[in-house]
């Protein structure tokens, strides 16, 4: 690896020399500092073979794209997306959250102002059709990055509709531009089977389906499973189901226990059903206050469940 390639790799990660040294030490168990990185990048010191081999292997890695989708609203898609992203980042994964819901809840939940995003034209809607380069729109957060969106994403769906041959592939094409920058990309989909949801499923490798343990929520799961089958047949044959994630689950409610049992019967081996995320009023309150629950409630049972899920995804 030559100095320029090292510098380009560090720039893609968006890290200072000191942060890059810390990241590298965590991966390789070494004690490099920013002065060492500076000498490597200037050519004053040879890049060790172990470091060069590791970085070249990292550069060949392609991000795993997971769409978090369910046509039903209020099932915890955004809460799952953001807390899972943070937990994966804690495990050392490079994570990008793509807000594909025009309500911009993942954007706001990450502490980003959608109005500013719209004014500066650096939302997903600006990226999809080439108005803004994707790297210029990505915002760095603690433990993960965000490609934000605004209400103007609704207009992008019209453009997708008007280009039936290629419009549905635009998100996949944009994500391919940063596929070596991340380990995991999480797409927060809208609560409907809209065109942007279809676009996300075409771009994804896997689908995670959050659902509440409610009779009406569970009834909608076959619909999204049928949509996945159609996407596989026509546009993305590699699309897989990561699993179904029961959320906001209260074990003390017999009806929710019964719904979970019914869900296992309904799915009958068609997809994995993850352990439920427990309901927590603390998580609800933190979300309402604009805080990221995993950051402010590290000992919550719900957050522990998200960390367990992140571990399964990271090592699965």
The pLDDT score that the predictor gives to residue 111 is: 94
Provide the β-strand partners of residue 310. none
Mean pLDDT (the chain, rounded): 91
230 vs 237: CA distance, rounded Å: 9
Q: Would you say residue 162 has pLDDT above 90?
A: no
Q: If you average pLDDT over residues 100-127, what whole number do you get?
A: 95
More confident residue, 71 or 33: 33
The pLDDT score that the predictor gives to residue 190 is: 93
Which pTM was predicted? Answer: 0.84
117 vs 172: CA distance, rounded Å: 22
Under a CB-based contact definition with an 8 Å cutoff, are residues 100 and 196 in contact?
Answer: yes
The pLDDT score that the predictor gives to residue 93 is: 93
| 184-207 per-position pLDDT tens digit | 999 999 998 888 999 999 999 999
In order of their start, the domains of the chain are 3-59 (1.10.260.40), 62-315 (3.40.50.300)
Q: Would you say residue 61 has pLDDT above 90?
A: no
What is the residue-wise DSSP string for 105-170? HHHHHTT--HHHHHHHT-SHHHHHTTSS-HHHH-EE-SSSEEE---TTHHHHHHHHHH-TTTGGGH
What is the residue-wise DSSP string for 10-24? HHHHT--HHHHHHHH
């Amino acid at each position: 690896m030559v100095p320029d390639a090292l510098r380009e790799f560090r720039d893609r990660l968006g890290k200072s020399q000191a942060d890059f040294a810390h990241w590298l030490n965590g991966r390789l168990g070494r004690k490099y500092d920013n002065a060492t990185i500076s000498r490597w990048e200037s050519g004053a010191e040879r890049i060790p073979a172990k470091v060069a081999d590791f970085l070249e292997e990292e550069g060949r890695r392609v991000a795993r794209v997971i769409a978090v989708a369910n046509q039903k609203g209020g099932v915890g898609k955004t809460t799952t997306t953001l807390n899972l992203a943070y937990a994966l980042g804690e495990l050392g994964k490079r994570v990008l959250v793509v807000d594909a819901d025009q309500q911009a809840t993942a954007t706001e939940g990450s502490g980003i102002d959608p109005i500013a995003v719209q004014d500066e034209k650096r939302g997903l809607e600006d990226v999809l059709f080439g108005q803004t380069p994707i790297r210029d729109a990505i915002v760095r957060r603690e433990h993960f990055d965000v490609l934000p969106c605004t209400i103007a994403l609704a207009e992008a769906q019209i453009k997708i509709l008007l280009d039936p041959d290629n419009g549905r592939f635009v998100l996949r094409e944009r994500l391919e531009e940063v596929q070596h920058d991340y380990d995991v990309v999480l797409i927060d989909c809208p609560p409907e089977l809209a065109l942007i949801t279809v676009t996300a499923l075409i771009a994804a490798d896997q689908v995670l389906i959050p659902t509440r343990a409610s009779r009406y929520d569970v009834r909608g799961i076959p619909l999204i499973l049928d949509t996945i089958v159609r996407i596989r047949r026509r546009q993305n044959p590699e699309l897989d189901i990561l699993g179904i994630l029961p959320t906001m689950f209260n074990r003390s409610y017999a009806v929710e226990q019964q719904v979970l049992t019914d869900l296992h019967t309904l799915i009958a081996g068609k997809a994995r059903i993850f352990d439920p995320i427990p309901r927590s009023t603390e998580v609800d309150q933190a979300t309402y206050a604009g805080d990221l629950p995993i950051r402010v409630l590290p000992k919550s049972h719900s957050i522990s469940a998200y960390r367990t899920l992140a571990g399964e995804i990271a090592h699965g």
